[in-house]
Amino acid sequence: MLTIFDRISDNSLLRAIRRGLILIIPIVMAGSFALVINNFPVRAYQDFMLLAFGDTWKNLGGYIWQGTFAILSMAVLMSISYSMTEAYVHRTNVDLHPFFGSVTALACYIAVMYIPESEIPLRFLGALGLFIAIVIAVVSSQIFILLHAFGKFRMRIYSDSADRTVGQSLHALFPAFITICVFSAIHLLFDSAGIADMQSLMYERFRMLFGDTAGANLGTALSFVLLSHLFWIFGLHGTNIMEPVVNNVFVPNLELNAEQLAQGLEPTHMYSKEFFDIFVFPGGSGASLCLILAIVFLTKRTNTRQIAIISSIPSIFNINEILIYGVPIVLNPFFAIPFILTPAVLTLTTTAAMSAGLVPLVTTSANWTTPVLLSGFMATGSVSGSLLQIFNIFVGAACYGPFVILFQKHKAQEGRNALKGLTECVLAGMQNLTARGDSIGNLARGLAIALKDDLQTALAEDADRPDCPLFLEYQPQIKSDGNLHGVEALLRWKHPQLGMIPPPVTVALAEDSEIEDLLCRWTLRRSFRELKNWNKRGLATILSVNLSPTQISDDIAELVARELESNSIDPNMIELEVTEQLALTTASRRRLAQLKELGVRLAMDDFGMGHTSLLYLKEFDLSTLKLDGVLVKDILDSATSRDIIKSISHLAEASDIELIAEYVETREQSDMLRSLGVHIYQGYLYSKPLLPDRLFIYWEGLRSSLLLQGRETEA
């Protein structure tokens, strides 16, 4: 099932639609909270607001609703078309602003709309027109993109304007014009067929699907629930579409129950509007509170969980648009089945409870925004009504549970795939990753924000806490005689969903979001503090710290000097590693010279494969060379690698420079390196990177082993 859902969910069209729905979350949230403010179901609150602000106090919330939910379809249309055009731009690298696709879709939407007396009807700009809006957004964007991709429809210009938007506008002129003409022609066809308002006609046909119902029974109730939620999944406002059924079939039943109760008779009409609002739809359509409960208990810290938590407040008052458009539920294969079936299950449980006499039938009306528990008690006049609501919420959460788990597995796999792609981009040397418009760019932007937050937390006073997501591990460097030469500090960042982020990705994101100076400051502070602690415990060793080219800034020497002084560290115990990606500019030469003046050691990482390696050796007073890992990995199979290493070994010995081999994983590699004149090794053969306390234990074990060997030799 997960594979099937994955394939459906990964469809590029559905991704664009879901992204478009997510983009409108801010206006949905604003509209939702406005509804809560206006309809808060406490008489004392309503009286207070009326007394404090007068008869017009609800106007503010009404205007907010007018600017949010009243134009929801238009917002969705523009956001989906924007998302589709943006994906096209990224896929083809064409010079086009996504806004042109978005505004073209809006023009097409208005072109097909029935506008009596030149006044646009608001009802089809809101949730009621959502389905038509999605269809027009998708079709118009596809036509626009196809025409734009066909070069003959693009106007060629030679503009001397500095604003590239001028050229983009003219390139989009003919594709936009033709697309709008297509939808205008569709409107003409409907006019010629005698159909003035195609949107009203479509919704009228949907209503007729249900047919006329003479009475309300279990079959009627289940049909109503299933059909209205099926409409929701496809972007149709199921509640509004089924409103005639509700008014004609279910609304009168509450009045009939009240009359029977007034006459001293037992109420007999089970299925009323309140029956569904209070017991079948806790939190709104789809039993949203059940989904929220399942997400909160079954997922870790994810965007989905955050949306669920945020939407829980309005959902208490049965306002669930944030959840429906934020997760989203619309056109989401993972939640389509439980969204439709869960209310049907709750219809059965409520029917069973009332049929068995465990809960009284609904006899009192409750405002639709009345919170759960209170509404159950008010509608039935019994605590058992509230208990039934609690029972239904947990039953519904159990129905959603397996699908929430499937959805999280899908999101986790999606995240891993995006991280893999992001890592490949970083290793390929690509830049401006956060500016990309695809899933890799989305991930990069999200990770960059998370990295900045975690980095600021790590720089705070509580940076030593054990659960800090940013931390350092240290990999030992071992001499051929078995003694510890030094340790290299290695950056680690643990993301709550994706796990360990590759260090090159972390560094690239820091550079991309211009927080590399903060990362450098934290790395130096953290590693120097650990070295200070080791020194106090008797472990005196060389600490090697990597610096990326962007971290060799004007104040790097001042920063290092400050940390050396505050931690009372001998500068000769610090080794700063640079790579040949550091440009040989006057500024970089000056900065490295300032570091040498402090007395710290300089090391060249990945030495031997770059064309400027020897130039660096000439320019700088290096203390250490670290062999390129490719040479070490190929040492047993490649004579060329062995010759290069031997040459570098002679060069290092002649220049009085220490030579370290990284990625040493087998005894055969170690023996070969020793025969070629390399006597310091770093790799999994000796130790994996260790946390600070584990490193100290490793050193103690190493020292004990050497002492034991010395005694055996003496004996």
- How large is the average pLDDT for residues 564-574? 93
Single out the residue of 635, 693, 640 nearest to residue 662, CA to CA. Answer: 635
What pLDDT score was predicted for residue 241?
67
What pLDDT score was predicted for residue 203?
65
Alpha carbon 385 to its chain's center? 39
**Over the range 43-68, which residues count as b (16 or more CB within 10 Å of their CB) and which as e?**
eeebeeeeeeeeeebbeebeebbeeb
> Does 252 fall in a domain?
yes
> Does 55 fall in a domain?
yes
**Over the range 416-426, which residues count as b (16 or more CB within 10 Å of their CB) and which as e?**
eebbebbbebb
Q: Same structural domain for residues 248 and 164?
A: no
Domain with residue 598: its CATH number is: 3.20.20.450
Q: Same structural domain for residues 218 and 173?
A: no
Q: Which of 151, 177, 202 is the last residue of a domain?
A: 202
Query: Does the pLDDT of residue 47 top 90, yes or no?
Result: no
What pLDDT score was predicted for residue 320?
83
Q: What is the pLDDT of residues 277-328, one digit of tens each?
A: 999 999 988 999 999 999 999 987 677 888 888 888 888 888 887 888 778 8
Q: What is the pLDDT of residues 608-622, one digit of tens each?
A: 765 556 666 766 788
- How large is the average pLDDT for residues 222-230? 88
pTM of the complete model:
0.69
Are the beta carbons of 96 and 168 closer than 8 angstroms? Answer: yes
> Does 435 fall in a domain?
no
What pLDDT score was predicted for residue 213?
44
Query: Does the pLDDT of residue 276 top 70, yes or no?
Result: yes
Phi-psi category of 112—alpha, beta or left, where left has phi over 0 and alpha has psi -120 to 50? alpha
Q: Same structural domain for residues 196 and 235?
A: no
What pLDDT score was predicted for residue 387?
95
> Does 426 fall in a domain?
no
Task: Average the pLDDT over each of 257-266, 414-423, 428-437 and give the range with the smallest value.
Answer: 428-437
> Does 428 fall in a domain?
no
> Does 523 fall in a domain?
yes
Q: Same structural domain for residues 647 and 675?
A: yes
β-sheet bridge partners, residue 467: none
Range of the domain at 286: 211-414
Are the beta carbons of 249 and 213 closer than 8 angstroms? Answer: yes
> Does 424 fall in a domain?
no
Q: What is the pLDDT of residues 655-679, one digit of tens each?
A: 899 999 999 999 999 999 999 999 9
> Does 235 fall in a domain?
yes
Q: Which residue has the higher pLDDT, 153 or 73?
A: 73
What pLDDT score was predicted for residue 212?
46
Q: Same structural domain for residues 559 and 636?
A: yes
What pLDDT score was predicted for residue 240?
67
Task: Average the pLDDT over each of 85-94, 497-506, 674-683 and give the range with the smallest value.
Answer: 85-94
Q: What is the pLDDT of residues 165-186, one digit of tens each?
A: 777 787 788 899 999 999 999 9
Q: What is the pLDDT of residues 446-475, one digit of tens each?
A: 888 889 988 888 887 545 566 788 999 999
Query: Does the pLDDT of residue 402 top 60, yes or no?
Result: yes
Angle, helix 333-355 to helix 2-9, in steps of 10 degrees:
120
Number of independent structural domains in the chain: 3
